[in-house]
Amino acid sequence: MKALIYVENKSSSPFANTTSSIEYIKSSELQSLPSAVYEEIELLDVLEFDESPNILSIALQKLRHGGLIRISGTDAIQVMRESEAGRLGLEGASEQLLNGRVRLTSAHDLKHQLSAMQMNITTISIGGFRYLLEAVRE
């Protein structure tokens, strides 16, 4: 089973390539899903916009052993670097960092957090302000 988790009206649009093999689930419904059944879970801007402080732990509970989690969002450190270098004005940086977000994240911090949760990091990439991190549950 595969699931794409999103925050309604805030995540990047998850519906561009809809397929019947993927469940599209609002982050507010994540807690009610069965544990350890998903082979693949994608969190689309969920860490930044969802109000639950434990949303990452909740998502990992839903992932079966050997399953893959893919997390994407805005890398706050990249936004600050671009602003500091003068390539992004304060208004643009504010829009990237705030705009309804509950918390800021970065690929670097997320890597350490997932490693501490016994996850095997397989991919980390940053393009522009966006990060993509993939990890396998051991």
* Count of the separate structural domains present in the chain: 1
Tokens 């599209």, located at residue: 24
Give one DSSP letter per residue of 45-98, joined into a string. Answer: SHHHH---TTHHHHHHHHEEEEEEEEEEEEBHHHHHHHHHTTSS-HHHHHHHH-
Residue 97: per-residue pLDDT:
85
pLDDT in tens, 56-92: 999 999 999 999 999 999 999 999 988 888 888 888 8
Q: In this structure, are residues 46 and 27 in contact, taking their beta carbons and an 8 Å threshold?
A: yes
- 62/64 Cα distance (integer angstroms): 7
Which CATH number covers residue 63? 3.40.50.150
Local confidence pLDDT in tens for the 138 residues of the chain: 999 999 987 877 655 555 568 899 999 999 999 999 999 999 999 999 999 999 999 999 999 999 999 999 999 999 998 888 888 888 888 888 888 899 999 999 999 999 999 999 999 999 999 999 999 998
Q: In this structure, are residues 69 and 132 in contact, taking their beta carbons and an 8 Å threshold?
A: no
Q: In this structure, are residues 69 and 119 in contact, taking their beta carbons and an 8 Å threshold?
A: yes
- 3/14 Cα distance (integer angstroms): 11
Residue 13: per-residue pLDDT:
60
Residue 22: per-residue pLDDT:
87
Q: In this structure, are residues 72 and 132 in contact, taking their beta carbons and an 8 Å threshold?
A: yes
**pTM given for the model:** 0.89
Q: What is the three-class DSSP state of 42?
A: strand
- 49/26 Cα distance (integer angstroms): 12
Residue 75: per-residue pLDDT:
95
Q: What is the domain range of residue 76?
A: 2-137
